[in-house]
Amino acid sequence: MYKILQNMRKNERYKYITAYFQQAMPNAQTELHFKSPYQLLVAVMLSAQCTDRRVNMTTPALFEAYPTSASLAVATFDQVYDLIRSISYPNSKARHLISMAQMLESDFGGEVPSTLEQLTSLPGVGRKTANVVMSVAFGKTTIAVDTHVFRVSHRIGLVSARCTTPLSVERELTKNIPPQLRHDFHHWLILHGRYVCKAIHPQCEKCGIRQWCQSHKEKA
């Protein structure tokens, strides 16, 4: 097995790992709860350096109070802060949410835009958030690189050590993953990183792709 792994080309690793995930997680989706592109955008903004579980506990009251960007645009800082205070960085996120909603109303007619350039023009919306919204809400073939995707793609050997930034990881994954699989691949890596290939204590004994994993090979 070691010799097989040692001689395995990157395209073969992608092939075997894709086949595994297609069988193990055929319907992988975001774990954030939302009912519209607006709600998804808000949830993803809140999820930065915060768990989806905590976000899902917070957004019901927030969406009840502010069901549209128009209602959020006229909210005060204190009103939004009180609803998201259990989220990480509530001060900056409250300000960004209000400013984002105001710009949606003033520049986009209250509709969440669907392009990278337009989304990243919104306050508090970076490339990762924009890619998630484009993929999940609009079905675009983008790959968002969060901490899980960054960590797992390096560990298992999908990207090279030269990829030291989220953008470089995104570009290498995009180069190697067919467009029709990018939406699923994004969620496969997130869920695998969240529940199996954890940052501190990866559960290699439970990992279904360890036989194709670069890090596991190096430990053998």
Tally helices (H) and strands (E) across the chain.
13, 0
Q: Write down the catalytic residue from 82, 107, 146, 175.
A: 146
How would you classify residue 115: left for phi > 0, otherwise alpha for psi between -120 and 50, otherwise beta?
beta
Q: Are residues 5 and 211 in contact, defined by beta-carbon separation less than 8 angstroms?
A: yes
Structure tokens at 78: 């204190």
Cα separation, 47 vs 59, whole angstroms? 11
Count CB neighbours of 154 within 10 A. Answer: 17
Angle subtended by helix axes 37-46 and 52-65, to nearest 10 = 130
The answer to whether residue 184 is catalytic is: no
Question: What is d(CA 112, CA 93) in angstroms, rounded to the nearest whole number?
Answer: 18
- Maximum distance among all alpha carbons in the chain? 62
Q: Is 107 a catalytic residue?
A: no
Contact 173, 153 (CB under 8 A): yes
Single out the catalytic residue among 128, 175, 184, 206: 128
- 170 touches 145 (CB < 8 A): yes
Q: What is the set of active-site residues?
A: 128, 146
